């Protein structure tokens, strides 16, 4: 049986849907069901449920807010992940941990490999890296999946924000010097289910194929929804945020290739499929 944390979130909800579609025995939980920051509660929950595998989607993901409330962010992403990893260790369960491009500094232009040096620039990135470390220190049977620029049907994301702004504005200013890859949660959920129980443990980078800037992403959104809204390309300095974003979020998918997993479709195709259901 697979336990999915963060089951009502953007990614977790798609993972649950994919498991249902595949007829896989699973339980989806969220904060109302279990406070992952409480070690005793996590241990008691695992003793009752005895999962064979955990897909850990639960996370604090508000990147800028994390700069104002670092303790809460760390409690969820670091301590909470440590609690889940410890419970997996005691239950001899596998664990899939969802991480992020924010564990890297964003230097250079080359795609980051799974063993590239990490150097997070934000509280959020640091908290997710500590989560990675907890998983690696506690477990042998783990998968760490780093993703970026997530969008899906459930919850807020960049695509929905651009669409809503385009309804009331003629022009939007979007950063053009941060480069990465969008990740469609529906595509990612399918891959996560392929990885679960595969026995091919380790770190993977999983995003939709192709690279773009945020501005290029926004331009493609306007193109696909046939909006007259213009995208004005600006620099990172022209759009200051509380949390520092990596300028290079390119992630190498070579680990997927080596393990024999299929790469996700091109991001433009993923966006098209996402918009068709809006």
Question: Which residues are catalytically annotated?
Answer: 124
Say how far apart CA 199 and CA 224 lie, in whole Å.
39
At 3 the three-state DSSP class reads strand
At 83 the three-state DSSP class reads helix
DSSP β-ladder status, 212-213 and 179-180: antiparallel
Nearest to 183 by CA among 1, 11, 6: 11
Say how far apart CA 192 and CA 145 lie, in whole Å.
9
Say how far apart CA 98 and CA 171 lie, in whole Å.
34
As a whole number of Å, the end-to-end CA separation of the chain is 32
Nearest to 269 by CA among 189, 197, 208, 190: 208
Contact (Cβ atoms closer than 8 angstroms) between residue 11 and residue 187 = no
Say how far apart CA 239 and CA 230 lie, in whole Å.
17
């Amino acid at each position: 049986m697979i336990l999915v944390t963060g089951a009502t979130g953007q990614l977790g909800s798609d993972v649950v849907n994919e498991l249902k579609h595949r007829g896989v025995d699973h339980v989806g939980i969220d904060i109302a069901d279990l406070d992952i920051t409480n070690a005793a509660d996590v241990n008691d929950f695992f003793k009752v449920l005895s999962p064979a595998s955990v897909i850990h989607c639960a996370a604090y993901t508000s990147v800028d807010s994390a700069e104002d409330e670092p303790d809460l962010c760390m409690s969820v992403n670091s301590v909470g992940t440590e609690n889940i990893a410890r419970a997996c260790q005691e239950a001899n369960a596998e664990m899939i941990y969802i991480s992020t491009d924010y564990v890297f500094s964003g230097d250079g232009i080359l795609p980051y490999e799974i063993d590239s040096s990490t150097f997070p620039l934000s509280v959020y990135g640091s908290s997710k890296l500590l989560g990675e470390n907890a998983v690696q220190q506690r477990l042998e049977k783990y998968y760490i999946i780093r993703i970026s620029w997530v969008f899906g049907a459930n919850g807020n994301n960049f695509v929905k924000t651009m669409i809503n702004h385009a309804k009331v504005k003629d022009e939007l200013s979007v950063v053009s010097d941060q480069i990465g890859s969008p990740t469609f949660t529906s595509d990612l959920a399918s891959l996560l289910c392929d990885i679960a129980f595969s026995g091919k443990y380790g770190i993977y980078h999983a995003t939709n194929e192709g690279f773009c800037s945020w501005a290029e992403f926004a331009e493609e959104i306007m193109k696909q929804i046939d909006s007259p809204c213009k995208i004005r390309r600006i620099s990172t300095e022209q759009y200051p945020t509380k949390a520092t974003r990596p300028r290079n979020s390119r992630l190498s998918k070579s680990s997927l290739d080596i393990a024999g997993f299929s790469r996700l479709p091109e991001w433009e195709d993923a966006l098209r499929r996402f918009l068709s259901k809006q």
